[in-house]
Structure 1
Amino acid sequence: MLHEASDAQTGLRKVARVILLDPENRILLLHGFEPDDPDVTWWFTPGGGLEGDESREEAALRELAEETGITEVELGPVLWQRHCSFPFAGQRWDQDEWYFLARTTRTDAVPHSLTELERRSVAGLRWWTSAELSAARETVYPTRLAELLLTLLDEGPPRVPVVLAPEIV
């Protein structure tokens, strides 16, 4: 979800994202678009900013439930961390993102409690196989997600989170 809470020292919005895999190792992605220009679209992982004093783990589970309706998950380790900065809905978003691995047996996902901005910028969601993601010609964030997912499926979670290169758009 999009909230404006950020770290007072760094100015970065603290974000928890979820790499949600089903029993067939498909990944769930949301389809987003710029509210002021619906032709500008991309796919992204569920997740969003921390609220109040919640932990990143708590935020990951809350965001997943709100954006997908899925609450039956096994939350795993942090896989990746990245800094990103991008324009969206008339403002610049500077984020410190942590990506958690999660697994579920439930594949019926329906956005359940979206913010007003999310209702104006999320077109739906779908499960992707690694091959489909690798072949995708659409924009996906993080931009190396296909490669990162393939490595995850081949090698398992990293022992310590991988710090991804910053993405500044």
Structure 2
Amino acid sequence: MDFTPRRAARVLLVDGAGRVLMFRGFDPARPHHRYWFTPGGGLDDDEPSVMGAARELAEETGLRVPPERLGEPVWSEVTEYPFDGVWYRQRQDFFLLRVPSWEVDTTGFDDVEQGSIDGHRWWGMADLEATTEVVYPDDLGALLRRVLAHADGGEAPC
């Protein structure tokens, strides 16, 4: 199988109640395949991941922050997935950003996002870990617990 390489940056946006923002989307080629995912997306050529994370956050949520506020990635992974008939191999960095609260503004969605994202919500940790819905990455609940523990002075994330 041939994969299209892609780089991406994602943001774990956590509010004062400890909830993480997730978008609900679907693959236009497989509209029955619905899933939840964090804000973020593909990087432009040679765009540093922190710059792309800040750009994507602004486009998808309306929240504008200087890239340096995102700091260093808290986790990275390589994932393979199909979207709209194309298989991707994506290297993505995750950044943590805490906010007291935020009213999500999706007016910055591009055409692909408008056509493949149909909702968003703030997920509490218990709901995230108990859901039977598809969430990407698969182990987001455990990842988020590690990242938040590390940010609060605990063990380093894996």
SS for the counterpart of 1:30 is strand
Question: Larger helix proportion, structure 1 or 2?
Answer: 2
2:113 corresponds to which of 113, 118, 125: 118
List runs of 5+ in structure 2 lacking aligned partners.
Answer: none
1:46-65 alignment, distance < 5 Å: 46-65=39-58
Check whether the contact 1:79–1:160 (CA below 8 A) recurs between aligned residues.
Answer: no
**Pairing 1:29–2:22 present:** yes
Residue 104 (structure 2) aligns with: 109
Decide whether aligned partners of structure 1 residues 53 and 161 sit closer, same or farther in structure 2, where only a CA change above 3 A counts. Answer: farther
Give 1:47 deviation, angstroms.
Answer: 0.7
Give 1:72 deviation, angstroms.
Answer: 4.7
Which shifted more, 46-55 or 62-71?
46-55
SS for the counterpart of 2:74 is strand
Check whether the contact 2:21–2:38 (CA below 8 A) recurs between aligned residues.
Answer: yes
1:70-149 alignment, distance < 5 Å: 70-72=63-65, 74-149=69-144
Which shifted more, 149-158 or 42-51?
149-158
Give 1:160 deviation, angstroms.
Answer: 6.8
Give 1:52 deviation, angstroms.
Answer: 3.5
Q: Which runs of 4+ in 1 moved over 4 A?
A: 157-161
Residue 8 (structure 2) aligns with: 15
| TM-score, normalised by the number of residues in structure 1 | 0.81
SS for the counterpart of 2:132 is coil
Q: Distance in 2 between matches of 1:13 and 1:160?
A: 27
**Pairing 1:154–2:149 present:** yes
How many aligned positions are there?
Answer: 153
Q: Distance in 2 between matches of 1:128 and 1:82?
A: 22
Q: Distance in 2 between matches of 1:121 and 1:129?
A: 24
Residue by residue, what CA displacement relative to the aligned partner does 1:54-82 show, whole Å, maximum 9, x if unpaired? 21111001001111111257424311111
Give 1:129 deviation, angstroms.
Answer: 0.8
Check whether the contact 1:82–1:97 (CA below 8 A) recurs between aligned residues.
Answer: yes
